[in-house]
Amino acid sequence: MNKNTKNMFVWFILGLVVVVTIYQIINRGDQVYEMPTSDFHSYISEKYIKDNGNPFEGYLILDDEWVEGKFREEFVAINKQEQSVENPIFPQNWNGNFKTSRDTSEDYGLQEKLNTQGIIFNIKPGSNFPDWLLVIGTTVVPLLIFLGLMIFLSRQMQGSGNRALSFGKSKARLHTETDKPVTFDDVAGVDEAKDALEEVIQFLKAPSKFERLGGTIPKGVLLVGPPGTGKTMLAKAVAGEADVPFFSISGSDFVEMFVGVGASRVRDLFETGKKNAPCIIFIDELDAVGRHRGAGIGGGHDEREQTLNALLVQMQGFEDSETVIMIAATNRPDVLDPALLRPGRFDRQIIVDLPDVRGRKAILDVHTKEPYKLAEDVNLEIMAKATPGFSGADLKNMANEAALLAAREDKEHIDMECFDEAKDRVLMGPERRSLVISDEERRVTAYHEAGHALISHFVPESDPNYKCTIVPRGRALGVTALLPDEERHNPNRKKLIADIIVFLGGRVAEETIFGEQTTGAQNDFERATRLARHMVTQWGMSPLGPLTYGRRDEQIFLGKELAVHQDYSEQTAIAIDKAVHDIVMECYENAKEIIETNLDGLKHLADALLERETLITEEIEEILGPRPQLPTNPLT
């Protein structure tokens, strides 16, 4: 039996059970006392038969074969009470219905008798439904309807594109030759990941070579990293380089509301994989299905656990000879069920981190190739420097946005201005020139941004200014952007202090000029405090000494702390708070000093901002003079 007919059979049996049950429920009604006609006659004489009350409808019905009716309630009550338990005359659940056969040719004047007794009855000549018709009506007809429905559904299932009854099918998509194959050249700035995946490609190309040498064959590779860093692309590129089919499905596709669907999808996916070996199966968002079992709140996650179990079982069941490679991607490796990471499953982890400067430059190169037309002035190195924290997807987005802006402004080429604007858009959303800002507010913002720019200009350890603007964008009224030097992986205390001073420069400038405090510096404070706290608790840069305070579950590449556990006393907590406060206040005094000694410069900067709205590095240096240089370190 093939799968479809088997399915049909099961549905058929189910339908039958339903129909029979319904039939039984309908017929479970009160039981009827069937008696000889002679008894009926005497009951009439004794006035025990209930009057119909209405000649057109009711309980006393005479038809060609039967008489059906009711006894009077008093009769029923007495007889039910008095009948012997061992030898009951009337049915158990009786509530007074009776039935007796009627011979119309010889019914001893029944109708007259009823008439003389004044009992109204209802005659239904020949209306008696034969029993077998009733049976057909309640069983066969619904069955036929059911069958028809099933045939309809199975037609739908066979027809392409119809999804009735196909919940269990995996949604894996096959990427065939018609898609332009992705190669490693398309994925930039992730050289380490590529190296690690090279082996997988070799294996897919010539599995026999590996087996002969007895090498361990990778079965599952887990790509770990933030969204948009090219994990999907990498998996596709492996398939493209090895020239094998690529199946992809997202972990969230497994988690549906129907119980058992996820598990059957997993089995389906693996079947597809085995049929098409050698191939790659890619599961995006593995964490959606692979979360630690038993971690669900309220325990309502049986479905997901079943799916996860199916996945584990299927991966275990892979024969070594089957050249199917599983690649999965996640940005939450910390929540994965440990069983997923055991040998034979996703035992290889490859980190795909956010790109560094060089990576960003390489990605930009990829995404500004022909047919993009770049202007002479475009310096992608500067753009790469100015986009720390951008993912590959962000950079692609930025390049696209730059091209769109160039097109909108009817430019021949995409110039640096377009890139710059595109960067800010991706980072903070489009400019909000329409935002109504009072002159007063604009002035405050100008001094605030000028404060940042002035300090980063005069503190040699700070990153150089890149741009300073008072055009509102996203939620910010103005922005001062620096050009961080990422070659420095290990910032020293001076650099960190410089950063904090720059953060505080905005508020200090506002205060100094207007003698007022505004809410606009909240984000500055947040970042300053965060840095100071890290200096105290993580980097041993305070009187509390070279210790770390607080164990943190941190994913380095995620750049965010998941939780901090306090592993120190309350006294230490107080000391930490004080140390953090001291650092920030010291920086605050520093900022104040720099601003006060350069008040003229501040005013010039703010005026220029009010006039021109945006200042770039050269313009800032023109106003403030050349930037003081760091004394060169004699040791380097």
**Binding interface with ligand ADP (CB under 6 A):** 187-190, 227-233, 329, 363, 366, 392-393, 396
Told to judge if 613 belongs to the known catalytic residues of this protein, a careful annotator would answer: no
Of 287, 179, 284, 279, the C-alpha closest to 238 is: 279
Q: Shortest gap between Cβ of 249 and ligand ADP (angstroms)?
A: 13
Site residues for Zn ion per CB under 5 A:
506, 524
**Complex with ligand ADP: residue 232 or 469, whichever CB lies closer:** 232
State the Cα–Cα distance between residues 28 and 460, nearest whole angstrom: 95
Question: Which helix (DSSP H) or strand (DSSP E) does residue 86 occupy?
Answer: none
Q: CB neighbours of 321 closer than 8 A, spacing ≥ 6?
A: 207, 211
**Complex with ligand ADP: residue 45 or 183, whichever CB lies closer:** 183
φ, ψ (nearest 5 deg) of residue 305: -65, -40
Q: Shortest gap between Cβ of 269 and ligand ADP (angstroms)?
A: 18
CB under 5 to 8 A by kind: which of Zn ion, ligand ADP, none does 228 bind? Answer: ligand ADP
Of 344, 387, 335, 343, the C-alpha closest to 224 is: 335
CB under 5 to 8 A by kind: which of ligand ADP, Zn ion, none does 366 bind? Answer: ligand ADP
Of 444, 595, 462, 465, the C-alpha closest to 521 is: 444
**Complex with ligand ADP: residue 360 or 533, whichever CB lies closer:** 360
Of 424, 416, 220, the C-alpha closest to 325 is: 220
**Complex with ligand ADP: residue 363 or 501, whichever CB lies closer:** 363
Question: Which helix (DSSP H) or strand (DSSP E) does residue 75 occupy?
Answer: helix 73-82
State the Cα–Cα distance between residues 101 and 94, nearest whole angstrom: 19
Q: Shortest gap between Cβ of 323 and Zn ion (angstroms)?
A: 56
Do 223 and 231 touch, CB atoms closer than 8 A?
Answer: yes
Q: Shortest gap between Cβ of 480 and Zn ion (angstroms)?
A: 7
Two structure tokens written together for 140: 């066969």
Q: Shortest gap between Cβ of 556 and ligand ADP (angstroms)?
A: 17
CB under 5 to 8 A by kind: which of ligand ADP, Zn ion, none does 506 bind? Answer: Zn ion
State the Cα–Cα distance between residues 485 and 461, nearest whole angstrom: 11
**Complex with ligand ADP: residue 121 or 184, whichever CB lies closer:** 184
| Closest residue to Zn ion using C-beta atoms | 506
| Closest residue to ligand ADP using C-beta atoms | 392
Residue 256, amino acid: E
β-bridge pairing 465-469 and 614-616: antiparallel
Do 200 and 221 touch, CB atoms closer than 8 A?
Answer: yes
**Complex with ligand ADP: residue 329 or 501, whichever CB lies closer:** 329
CB under 5 to 8 A by kind: which of ligand ADP, Zn ion, none does 478 bind? Answer: none
CB under 5 to 8 A by kind: which of ligand ADP, Zn ion, none does 421 bind? Answer: none
Q: Shortest gap between Cβ of 246 and ligand ADP (angstroms)?
A: 13
Choice among 68, 305, 449, 510 that is catalytic: 449
φ, ψ (nearest 5 deg) of residue 57: -150, 165
CB under 5 to 8 A by kind: which of ligand ADP, Zn ion, none does 393 bind? Answer: ligand ADP
The residues facing 565 across adjacent strands are 551
Q: Shortest gap between Cβ of 479 and Zn ion (angstroms)?
A: 8
Exposed e or buried b per residue across 71-101, where buried means at least 16 C-beta atoms within 10 angstroms of its C-beta: beeebbeebbeeeeeeeeebeeebbbbbebe
Exposed e or buried b per residue across 340-354, where buried means at least 16 C-beta atoms within 10 angstroms of its C-beta: bbeeebbebebbbbb
**Complex with Zn ion: residue 485 or 526, whichever CB lies closer:** 526
φ, ψ (nearest 5 deg) of residue 553: -85, 95
Residue 339, amino acid: A
Two structure tokens written together for 100: 């007796």
Count how many Cα atoms sit within 13 Å of the Cα of residue 472 in the half-sphere of its side chain.
17
State the Cα–Cα distance between residues 490 and 417, nearest whole angstrom: 32
How many other C-beta atoms can be found within 10 angstroms of the C-beta atom of residue 600? 10
Name residue, tokens 């199966």: 281
Q: Shortest gap between Cβ of 523 and Zn ion (angstroms)?
A: 7
**Complex with Zn ion: residue 291 or 452, whichever CB lies closer:** 452
Q: Shortest gap between Cβ of 232 and ligand ADP (angstroms)?
A: 3
Residues in the chain: 636
What are the C-alpha distances in Å from 142 to residues 14, 24, 127, 147, 562? 13, 14, 23, 9, 58
Q: CB neighbours of 247 closer than 8 A, spacing ≥ 6?
A: 172, 173, 174, 175, 269, 272, 273, 276, 279, 280, 281, 282
Two structure tokens written together for 572: 């230490």
CB under 5 to 8 A by kind: which of ligand ADP, Zn ion, none does 230 bind? Answer: ligand ADP
Q: Shortest gap between Cβ of 506 and Zn ion (angstroms)?
A: 3
CB under 5 to 8 A by kind: which of ligand ADP, Zn ion, none does 524 bind? Answer: Zn ion
**Complex with ligand ADP: residue 328 or 453, whichever CB lies closer:** 328
**Complex with Zn ion: residue 481 or 583, whichever CB lies closer:** 481
Known catalytic residues? 449
